[in-house]
Structure 1
């Protein structure tokens, strides 16, 4: 019987400690931890290359790769001013990274890639940095045919990869 009273006392002590911990306000536990704002991903470069069956576009990133969307658009526009991007092509992809920047905290560009360039690969025909505005970096890619692509994120170093399949050859009969 003495064993049961010890066990009951230990259980009561655990409940008392657990109950005390749960009465601490959430704001108190948050303020005790050091506050760390997540660092903004920095887009530092864009490069490309041709392979036997696909073209590859690589976006180099310093920091953690942010969420990225790739979307087909009718035309490419510069984000801040809205003017059309002068890239030759019939089909376009907009690549949007957010939250991200192509400049440091002092406003100096960290992006070393092309701002606007024509590319002579089988699928990829042009590339432009179309925005670095309010925590969003956008890039535009131009194609003569509708692009069929896959995406992935690679690490060490951090980068986003867009692989665009070459269009099958058109056979004349």
Structure 2
């Protein structure tokens, strides 16, 4: 996962291994930890939840394949934090903590496989 500012939008890129997985992107009222359903301690003006399925953020013996900390401060104009809030029963969840609600788009890219989330500033 990586992120950067681009002109009038913030971009988050999720690198994937293998073919494109299914996914949804939707507004949620809070970011919750998959499995427990407990609210995560993140503060923002809006929350965008990206859910990947079937997907795993661990290898066959249970070692995490998510590189870096589970909560990353982005310090972009709208994307405040990116949170890995779940790797549970074939579903990986990634929460975008935003300064404010804004238009967004999700793009599928290949070679290498990745999802690109652009959020307007």
Q: How does 1:137-148 map to 2 (within 5 A)?
A: 137-148=92-103
Q: TM-score, normalised by structure 2?
A: 0.95
Q: Does 1:60 align with 2:15?
A: yes
Q: Which has the larger radius of gyration?
A: 1
Structure 2, unmatched stretches of 5+, are none
Aligned to 2:72: 117
Structure 1, unmatched stretches of 5+, are 1-45, 167-173
Q: How does 1:121-140 map to 2 (within 5 A)?
A: 121-140=76-95
State the structure with bigger RCO (CA 8 A, min sep 6), 1 or 2: 2
Tell me the C-alpha RMSD between the 2 structures: 1.0
Identify the structure with the greater strand proportion.
Answer: 2
What is the CA-CA distance between 1:86 and the residue it aligns to?
1.4
Q: Distance in 2 between matches of 1:87 and 1:119?
A: 13
Q: TM-score, normalised by structure 1?
A: 0.68
Aligned pairs, number = 121
Identify the structure with the greater helix proportion.
Answer: 1
Segments of 4+ moved more than 2 angstroms: none
Q: Does 1:80 align with 2:18?
A: no
Q: How does 1:92-171 map to 2 (within 5 A)?
A: 92-166=47-121
Q: Does 1:71 align with 2:26?
A: yes
* Contact persistence 1:87–1:127 (CA under 8 A): no
Name the SS of the counterpart of 1:76 in structure 2.
Answer: coil
What is the CA-CA distance between 1:118 and the residue it aligns to?
2.1
What is the CA-CA distance between 1:114 and the residue it aligns to?
3.2
Q: Distance in 2 between matches of 1:65 and 1:114?
A: 24
